[in-house]
């Protein structure tokens, strides 16, 4: 997984939510959705607990929480 990848959470309180990967490290992936999990405090998730989609967000779409929410809403409606 890379930064900008759109994922679906498979486990936890945020199950079935669309999220965006904002960081990758050895302990997991950091994801946010712009609403419950903001860019300032992303959620660290185990890569096994998310499923990557074929969609990616651009750098402009990842600048603010509002832009992330808008992009994820557009993807979920498509």
- For range 3-32, the mean pLDDT: 94
Looking at residue 57, its pLDDT comes to 95
What are the tens digits of pLDDT across the range 48-60?
Answer: 999 999 999 999 9
What are the tens digits of pLDDT across the range 34-46?
Answer: 999 999 999 999 9
Q: What structural domains and CATH numbers belong to the chain?
A: 5-77 (2.30.30)
Determine contact, residues 57/3, Cβ cutoff 8 Å. Answer: no
Q: With 90 as the cut, is the pLDDT of residue 63 above it?
A: yes
């Amino acid at each position: 997984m890379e930064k900008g990848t759109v994922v679906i959470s498979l486990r936890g309180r945020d199950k079935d939510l669309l999220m965006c990967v904002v960081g990758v490290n050895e302990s997991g992936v950091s994801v946010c959705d712009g609403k419950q999990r903001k860019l300032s405090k992303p959620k660290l998730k185990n890569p096994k607990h998310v499923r990557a989609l074929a969609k990616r967000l651009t750098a402009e779409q990842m600048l603010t929480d509002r832009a992330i929410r808008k992009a994820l809403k557009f993807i979920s409606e498509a």
